């Protein structure tokens, strides 16, 4: 049994809303483990709390409640000063490399900055390390003397990855690392990440709304909706047989870039409600074609639907959780619910 | 005759440097294609390939320093290039309309949704405000907005991204256009909302026998919603044909590389390194513009490749398009 490098339990993160007293429930009791050498994919739509979880893990945010164990230490409440030496163990790569890098520093110094902060190497040794890191992310050495505005998006993202790797971290959070890149460049970055993981055994938390990419890189998947985990499991199992009605709808909405794939889409009505007033019980109940009375009473617990595969739906117990079975019969009902939801949001 | 015929369109950005030497960025280099009634044509390509520029050129929305230096755009037989603003306005907004990117910044923030819909109609037709208001509310219902009457009174900032995108579609359709150009209509929207919007577009094209052009960088959208596709690279259409044919048998090395870098193909066949900087539009290479990134580039590629027909309406702009690729599959850089 491998000891997880990261154990997150009942993570909660609230933000203050625009109006006084308003609370944004960004993350609600999320739990997961991350093992060394593993990539865990976080998928969900905007507002599902993916990025907030990532930022809590690297302690850019202080969680409202819950624990984040890194190794044998709970880092959820420790001070910034106590966190600092741990930062070299947990790194993050952001979505937009243009805004993640200081435009007034040369690429070599951008990478060297981390080596300088987290090691006691002297200047020549640091330069050597920077060159080695650049080579490792397949970045041409003559780019090290350039400024970020002279590099392309793909090259800049390689710089960000080199920075994340500079301290030999045990965990890297990748927050939509390829979303701002063109398809052809994206493939190169994904390949690099896979290569680095095999070499170093670093654990990755891969946050993305691009289902195809997540499927390609992840070992396990966490499907989030409105800040709650609705399903988790091995990537193949979740993609092959999603159990939660939301996961089924989400995965069915994906458009594979292959005209020969026959789509079996389960179109949801409406949009994700705002995170200020969470629906009672299951957050997906107001849009769920299968919702019934007890869905709004309490958040359903994660029920086992296969080896290491869980989903949070009350219908799993009696096996009536397939949304394909529901669509025809409840159409009008959904439409009404959709409208009610709109009234709530805007009044 | 097709509804929209674009012939040999060249759009350049002409600017001057500090020494007053003119610099020309060749944004479009001889783009030709047509769109027929009842079909949805997808335009794909990487950032800077000229996808949006093509749409802006067609709509006559270019701002200096960009201008069309050569070529023709015919809509229903009428030439649009060189047309004055007044004449152009009789066509665009009514018969030929466009949905632009970023819905939340494209609506007038100081007018309610209903007022914008009324204005769009009264600009082009003689009708009472009341009738325009009712038609607007009907259109909102058509594009799947519940409680349309109430939404007519909403301000743009009250709308979610998906809702704003629907309003833009409603605005584009309110005058019953015969052709719709959608520039990244679903970028930035969540997948479940994307599905709703694209289904809506597809049904509208079918029900109203419209023509549509979707600009996207998402091959999935093209694969499932378009009938034909154009692949752009450095301001040229380098491959064009029926979607299924292009996906299953891409003939231009760039298209091959593009399709092989989708996650699914990577899972099947492994990675093939294809990335590279896009060519400098100020200084395009002689001959084939893809030459510097192409693994099978030969001396012949220093001359401009012809658009070769490789069967059906499938064409590719490569000297080797009608020959099998060297290893039979996608080429990869070593």
Helix boundaries (H) for A219-328 = 235-240, 245-252
* Residue range B205-217: mean pLDDT, rounded: 91
pLDDT reading at A345 higher than 60? no
Burial class (CB in 10 A: 0-12, 13-18, 19+), B291: middle
> Region A252-271: what's the mean pLDDT?
84
Contacts with B266 from chain A: Cβ below 8 Å: 187, 190-191, 216
Tell me phi and psi for residue B31, to 5 degrees. -90, 125
Nearest to B191 among A45, A154, A188 (CB): A45
Which residue spans within chain B are E strands per DSSP? 4-16, 22-35, 40-44, 66-75, 78-79, 96-99, 179-183, 211-215, 228-233, 236-242, 307-309, 315-317
Determine, for residues A267 and B192 on separate chains, whether the beta-carbon distance falls below 8 Å. Answer: yes
Give CA–CA dist B132/B117, Å, rounded: 8
End-to-end CA distance of chain B: 46
Predicted pLDDT at B274 = 61
Say if strands B307-309 and B315-317 run parallel, antiparallel, or are unpaired.
Answer: antiparallel
pLDDT at residue A185 in the model: 82
**What ipTM was predicted for this assembly?**
0.78
- Mind spelling out the 3-state secondary structure of A282-295? CCCHHHCCCCCHHH
Phi and psi of A258, rounded to 5°?
-155, 110
CA proximity to A255, closest of B187, B87, B31: B187
What is the chain A residue with the closest CA to B227? Answer: A259
Q: What is the DSSP string of B57-109?
A: HHHT---TTEEEEEEEEEETTEE-TT--HHHHHHHBTTTEEEE-S-GGGTS-T
Q: How many other C-beta atoms can be found within 10 angstroms of the C-beta atom of residue B327?
A: 9
State the pLDDT at residue B273: 61
* Cα A122 from Cα A231, distance rounded (Å): 48
- Minimal C-alpha gap between B247 and chain A (Å): 7
Bridge partners, residue B332, by sequence: none
Task: Tell me if A271 and B163 make a contact (CB, 8 A cut-off).
Answer: yes
Q: Among B219, B267, B275, select the one facing A185 at the smallest CB separation.
A: B275
The sign of the dihedral angle between the CA atoms of A227, A230, A236, A239 is negative
pLDDT by residue (tens digit) across A11-62?
999 999 888 888 999 999 999 999 999 999 999 888 889 999 999 999 999 9
Q: A329 pLDDT band (50/70/90 cuts)? A: very low
> Per-residue pLDDT for B324 more than 90?
no
Q: Is the pLDDT of residue A242 over 70?
A: yes
Residues of A in contact with B156 (CB under 8 A): none
For range B62-69, the mean pLDDT: 90
B257 membership: H or E segment, kind and range? helix B253-260
Examine residue A280 and say whether the peptide bond preceding it is cis (omega within 30 degrees of 0). Answer: no
Q: Is the pLDDT of residue A340 over 60?
A: no
- Considering the segment(s) B4-107+159-317 as one domain, its CATH architecture is 3-Layer(aba) Sandwich (3.40)
d(CA B62, CA A69): 55
Does residue A117 carry a pLDDT above 70? Answer: yes
Q: Where are the alpha helices (DSSP H) in chain A?
A: 50-57, 80-83, 97-100, 107-118, 123-136, 153-165, 183-200, 211-217, 235-240, 245-252, 331-346
What is the b/e burial string over B304-324, where b = at least 16 CB atoms within 10 angstroms of the residue's CB?
ebebbebeeebbbbbbbbeee
* Contact yes or no for A109/A103 (Cβ under 8 A): no
Q: Is residue B222 less than 8 Å (CB to CB) from chain A?
A: yes
Q: What is the structure's pLDDT at B332?
A: 38
The dihedral formed by the CA atoms of B310, B228, B261 and B198, expressed in degrees to the nearest 10: -170
Provide the token pair at A63. Answer: 């969680």
- Report how far residue A39's alpha carbon sits from residue A203's, in angstroms, rounded to the nearest whole number: 6
Q: How far apart are CA B216 and CA B222, in angstroms?
A: 8
The Cα B136–Cα B139 span in angstroms is 5
* Span B217-275, pLDDT tens digits: 889 999 999 999 999 999 999 999 999 999 999 999 999 988 888 887 888 877 776 66
pLDDT digits (tens, 9 = 90+) for B142-185: 887 878 888 899 999 888 887 888 899 899 989 989 999 999 88
| Average pLDDT for A83-92 | 92
Structure tokens at B245: 């044919």
Residue spans per domain, chain B = 4-107+159-317
| Chain A nearest-CA residue for B147 | A339
CA atoms within 13 A on the CB side of A248: 23
A257 closest CB neighbour out of B223, B248, B277: B223
Neighbouring residues of B224: CB distance < 8 A, sequence distance ≥ 6: A255, A259, A263, B198
| Six token digits for residue A162 | 């080199």
For B219, the closest of A257, A271, A335 (CB atoms) is A257
**Tokens 């190169």 -> residue:** A188
**pTM (2 d.p.):** 0.83
On whether the CB atoms of residues A287 and A268 are closer than 8 A, the answer is yes
Mean pLDDT of chain B: 87
Q: Does B292 contact chain A (CB < 8 Å)?
A: no
pLDDT computed for residue A267 by the predictor: 79
| Residue contact B192–A185, C-beta within 8 A | no
Chain A residues close to B162, C-beta within 8 Å: 271
């Amino acid at each position: 049994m491998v000891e997880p490098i990261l154990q997150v339990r009942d993570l909660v993160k609230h933000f203050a809303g625009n109006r006084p007293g308003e609370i944004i429930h960004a993350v609600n009791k999320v739990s997961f483990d991350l093992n060394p050498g593993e990539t865990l994919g976080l998928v969900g739509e905007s507002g599902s709390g993916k990025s907030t979880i990532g930022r809590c893990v690297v302690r850019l945010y202080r969680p409202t409640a819950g624990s984040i164990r890194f190794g044998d230490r709970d880092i959820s409440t420790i001070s910034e000063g106590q966190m600092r030496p741990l930062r070299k163990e947990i790194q993050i790569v952001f979505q937009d490399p243009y805004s993640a890098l200081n435009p007034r520093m040369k690429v070599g110094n951008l990478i060297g900055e981390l080596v300088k902060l987290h090691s006691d190497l002297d200047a020549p040794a640091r330069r050597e390390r920077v060159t080695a890191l650049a080579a490792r992310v397949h970045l041409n050495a003559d780019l090290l003397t350039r400024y970020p505005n002279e590099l392309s998006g793909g090259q800049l993202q390689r710089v960000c990855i080199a920075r994340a790797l500079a301290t030999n971290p045990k965990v890297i959070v990748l927050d939509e690392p390829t979303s701002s890149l063109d398809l052809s460049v994206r493939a190169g970055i994904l390949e690099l990440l896979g290569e680095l993981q095999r070499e170093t055994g670093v654990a990755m938390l891969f946050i993305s709304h691009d289902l195809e990419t997540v499927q390609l890189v992840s070992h396990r998947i966490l499907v989030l909706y409105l800040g709650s985990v609705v399903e988790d499991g091995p990537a193949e199992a979740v993609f092959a047989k999603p159990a939660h009605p939301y996961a089924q709808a989400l995965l069915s909405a994906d458009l594979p870039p292959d005209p020969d794939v026959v789509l079996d889409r389960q179109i949801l009505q409406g949009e994700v409600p705002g995170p200020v007033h969470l629906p009672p019980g299951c957050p997906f109940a107001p849009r769920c074609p299968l919702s019934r009375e007890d869905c709004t009473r309490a958040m359903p617990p994660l029920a086992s639907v296969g080896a290491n595969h869980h989903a949070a739906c009350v219908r799993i117990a009696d096996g009536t959780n397939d949304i394909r079975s529901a669509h025809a019969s409840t159409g009008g009902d959904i439409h009404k619910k959709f409208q009610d939801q709109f009234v709530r949001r805007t009044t | 005759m097709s509804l929209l015929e674009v012939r040999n369109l060249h759009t350049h950005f002409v600017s001057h440097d500090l020494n007053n030497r003119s610099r020309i960025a060749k944004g479009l280099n001889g783009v030709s294609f047509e769109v027929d009634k009842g079909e949805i044509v997808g335009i794909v390509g990487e950032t800077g390939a000229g996808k949006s520029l093509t749409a802006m050129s067609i709509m006559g929305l270019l701002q200096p320093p960009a201008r069309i230096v050569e070529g023709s755009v015919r809509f229903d037989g009428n030439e649009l290039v060189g047309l004055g603003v007044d004449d152009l306005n009789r066509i665009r907004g009514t018969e030929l309309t466009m949905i632009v990117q970023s819905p939340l910044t494209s609506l007038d923030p100081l007018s309610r949704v209903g007022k914008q819909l009324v204005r769009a109609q009264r600009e082009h037709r003689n009708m009472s405000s009341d009738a325009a208001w009712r038609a607007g509310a009907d259109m909102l219902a058509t594009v799947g907005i519940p409680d349309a009457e109430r939404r007519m009174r909403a301000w743009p900032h009250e709308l979610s991204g998906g809702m704003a995108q629907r309003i833009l579609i409603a605005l584009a359709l309110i005058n019953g256009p015969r052709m719709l150009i959608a520039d990244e209509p679903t970028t930035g929207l969540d997948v479940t909302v994307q599905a709703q919007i694209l289904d809506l577009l597809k049904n509208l094209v079918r029900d109203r026998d419209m023509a549509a052009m979707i600009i996207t960088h998402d091959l999935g959208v093209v694969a499932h919603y378009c009938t034909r596709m154009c692949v752009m690279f450095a301001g040229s259409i380098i491959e064009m044909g029926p979607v299924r044919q292009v996906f299953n048998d891409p003939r231009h090395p760039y298209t091959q590389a593009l399709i092989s870098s989708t996650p699914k193909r990577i899972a099947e066949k492994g990675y093939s390194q294809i990335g590279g900087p896009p060519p400098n539009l100020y200084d395009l290479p002689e001959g084939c513009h893809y030459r510097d990134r192409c693994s099978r580039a030969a001396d012949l590629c220093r001359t401009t490749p012809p658009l070769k027909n490789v069967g059906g309406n499938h064409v590719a702009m490569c000297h080797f398009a009608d020959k099998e690729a060297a290893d039979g599959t996608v080429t990869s850089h070593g």
